[in-house]
Amino acid sequence: MIDTSLRDKTLILLKEKRVTHKLTEIAKDTELPIGWLKSFAQRGEEYDSLSDRIYTLYKHLSGRTIEF
Whether 44 is covered by a domain: the verdict is yes
Q: Which of 8, 17, 29, 23 minimizes the C-alpha distance to 62?
A: 17
Whether 68 is covered by a domain: the verdict is no
The amino acid present at 57, given as its one-letter code, is: L
Residue with more model confidence, 3 or 27: 27
Domain holding 28, by residue range, is 6-62
Contact 30, 56 (CB under 8 A): yes
Whether 26 is covered by a domain: the verdict is yes
The pLDDT of residue 1 is 35
Whether 67 is covered by a domain: the verdict is no
pLDDT digits (tens, 9 = 90+) for 15-58: 998 887 899 999 999 999 999 999 999 988 888 877 899 999 99
DSSP codes, 12-61: HHHHHHTTTS-HHHHHHHHT--HHHHHHHHHHGGGS-TT-HHHHHHHHHH
Contact 6, 54 (CB under 8 A): yes
Whether 19 is covered by a domain: the verdict is yes
The pLDDT of residue 19 is 80
What does the pLDDT average to over 4-20? 88
How many separate domains does the chain show?
1
Whether 1 is covered by a domain: the verdict is no
Whether 53 is covered by a domain: the verdict is yes
Whether 30 is covered by a domain: the verdict is yes
